[in-house]
């Protein structure tokens, strides 16, 4: 006997078998389609919320300051303490006159992958923040610290890992280092200023300033300790 697909059967008496066509499989198929649609919708909504949470975490881990102004400190260089860093094109002499120049178009310390390229004078101008600012840049050694501070008070701590001398037309030094956040410090070589000395340091950690409530709590605890 050839089987009949998608049918139900029962015996009505004697040996006679009667087949009844039924819509149960069609109903099951429709419910399966509805269930599959719901699964797809729920999955899509879950992916959207996951992306939002990921974006929120990224925003929290990489906050962007109010503006691009920065300050530079190098503990091993006595003239480089809280020196202003101005973002401008490489040809901007005003920025170099008043401090150091962050080359426009290169990275910022709050980015995950960046080459924060900063140029400074070897001699500079007397009675300005550029005076002798990078005069002893050549004395930096591997492991020395370079500190950048943004306008929100965050400090980006870098460690020197590379030094090199390049010709003045070596534009590739502005490129990012894959997978790294580095700061590149540039000045002219002595005694003839014909080449460029580069010091590179890699981001080690970021120090955020304490929240006001935390600072107040520590101050109150200190006063209470002195009074006891």
Domain 70-209 has CATH 3.40.50.880: no
pLDDT for 64 equals: 86
Mean pLDDT by 10 residues, the chain (228 residues): 41 46 61 69 49 40 80 96 96 92 97 97 94 96 97 96 95 94 97 95 90 49 47
- 80 neighbors 65 (Cβ within 8 angstroms): no
The 10 Å Cβ neighbour count of residue 72 is 25
| Angle at CA of residue 8, ends 5 and 10, nearest 5° | 135
Write b or e for each residue in 19-30: b if 16 or more Cβ atoms lie within 10 A of its Cβ, otherwise e. Answer: eeeeeeeeeeee
pLDDT for 65 equals: 85
Which residue in the block uniquely carries the two structure tokens 């480089």? 80
pLDDT for 28 equals: 62
Kindly list the domain boundaries of the chain, sorted by start residue: 7-60, 70-209
pLDDT for 136 equals: 95
Element (H, E) at 149: strand 145-150
pLDDT for 33 equals: 72
- 182 neighbors 109 (Cβ within 8 angstroms): no
């Amino acid at each position: 006997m050839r089987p009949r697909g998608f049918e139900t059967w029962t015996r009505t008496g004697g040996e006679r078998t009667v087949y009844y066509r039924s819509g149960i499989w069609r109903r099951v198929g429709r419910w399966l389609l509805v269930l599959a649609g719901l699964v797809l919708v729920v999955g899509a909504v879950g992916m959207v919320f996951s992306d939002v949470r990921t974006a929120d975490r990224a925003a929290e881990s990489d906050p962007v300051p109010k503006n691009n102004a920065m300050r530079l400190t190098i503990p091993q260089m006595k003239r480089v303490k809280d020196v202003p860093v101005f973002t401008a094109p490489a040809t901007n002499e005003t920025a170099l006159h008043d401090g150091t120049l962050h080359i426009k178009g290169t990275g910022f310390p709050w980015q995950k992958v960046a080459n924060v390229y900063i140029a400074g004078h070897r001699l500079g101008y007397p009675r300005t923040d550029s005076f002798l600012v990078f005069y002893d840049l050549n004395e930096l050694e591997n492991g020395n610290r370079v500190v950048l501070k943004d306008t929100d008070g965050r400090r980006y701590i870098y460690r020197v890992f590379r030094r090199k001398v390049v010709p003045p037309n070596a534009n590739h030094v502005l490129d990012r280092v894959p997978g790294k956040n580095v700061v590149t410090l540039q000045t002219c070589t002595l005694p003839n200023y014909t080449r460029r000395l580069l010091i590179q340091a890699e981001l080690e950690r970021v120090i955020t300033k304490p929240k006001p409530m935390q600072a107040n709590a520590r101050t109150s605890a200190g006063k209470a300790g002195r009074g006891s």
